A = this chain, B = another copy of it.
Amino acid sequence: MMRSAAGVAPGPGALFAERVASCQARIEGVLDRALLLRDPGTQRLREAMRYSALGAGKRVRPTLVYLTGESLGAPLARLDTPAAAVELIHVYSLVHDDLPAMDDDDLRRGRPTCHRAYDEATAILVGDALQALGFAVLANEPMEGIPAAVRLEMIRVLARATGTGGMAGGQAVDLAAVGQRLSVAAIEDMHRRKTGALIQCSVVLGALAAGVTGGAELSALQHFGAEIGLAFQIQDDILDVEGDPALLGKSTGADAAHLKPTYPSTAGLPAARARALELRDAAIAALAPLGKQAGALTELAHFVVSRSS
């Protein structure tokens, strides 16, 4: 679990790395409970859901929920529910993206992908059921002190980030882009949908859980979320070119092999690195209205573009 914190230098970042590791450990327990095998009739499906969701993963989205919410004064226990919801939606998207008809990937997080470990039909159902569970968790699980109207707003935000306007739409754009030459602007638009929307959603859910439901603070966090969401994906594409497969838990060069246009393949690696840093700085600048509360999120912005896995 510490692996994803490895890119953070010792010294000022060490405390932050510990905090990230503790978020990762915490969400593992929350997901484990959300995915308990209660129903013998659907055991294989539930096992495949647990296989896909537990035991690995950087947990970037739940970490964002925790760090944002805590920075704004929300108790950790109240953040477990939105943190689990975004991660379940994220894992569903990974399972479907890996399918033969999509990216046809064999390895994910250092292990066989769901359709390889089980079968294709099961992997389709795992994704479907994880999506439903993401919404179920947000509608059902305890979130002490949160009024129904705010919970409903969380579901709205999650649904928007998940559907055609966000992740699913971005994946469609991504598929259509295979073998195409895109402009840098078109690549950014695709990334903002496919990855950025759910990352931004994670920040907003953390804010909503802390009672920040509007105003300059929420706008600042939305802006922050949008910028680090795009920075995160550009760094992902950079790591796919020059990362260490052992650290990443997957093969590198996948984008090129799939003929996927990426920021580095379109603008070059130096421009990609520069754009990631520019977005990091824009994200940090957006946090100004938060004052001292911005501390952990500022560190997170640095982490996102310096990570090596």
Q: Chain A interface (Cβ within 8 Å of chain B)?
A: 39, 41-42, 44-46, 49, 92-93, 96, 99, 101-102, 119-122, 124-125, 127-129, 131-133, 135-136, 139-140, 147-149, 151-152, 155-156, 159-160, 162-165, 168-169, 171-173, 175-176, 189, 193
Contacts and interface: CB of A to CB of B under 8 A. Distances in A.
B101 A120 contact: yes
Q: Top 10 nearest A-B pairs by Cβ distance? A: A132-B163, A136-B159, A101-B120, A45-B172, A129-B168, A42-B169, A148-B148, A132-B162, A148-B149, A139-B155
Contact of A41 (B131, B139, B171, B189): B189
Given A102-B121, A148-B152, A129 B164 contact: yes
A47 to B, nearest CB: 11
A132 B133 contact: no
- Residue from the set A120, A131, A162, A172 with the largest chain B CB neighbour count within 10 Å: A172
A180 to B, nearest CB: 13
A133 B122 CA distance: 23
Contacts of A169: 39, 41-42, 45, 129
23 contacts: A41-B193, A42-B164, A42-B172, A42-B173, A42-B193, A45-B164, A92-B128, A93-B128, A96-B128, A99-B124, A101-B120, A101-B124, A122-B175, A125-B172, A129-B168, A129-B169, A131-B131, A132-B159, A132-B162, A132-B163, A136-B156, A136-B160, A136-B163
The count of identical subunits is: 2
B171 A125 contact: yes
B121 A101 contact: yes
B172 A159 contact: no
B41 A173 contact: yes
Contacts of A155: 135, 139, 152, 155
A210 to B, nearest CB: 19
A152 B136 CA distance: 10
B124 A102 contact: yes
A198 to B, nearest CB: 11
Contacts of A160: 136
Contacts of A121: 99, 101-102, 175
Given A121-B175, A140-B156, A155-B139, A133 B45 contact: no
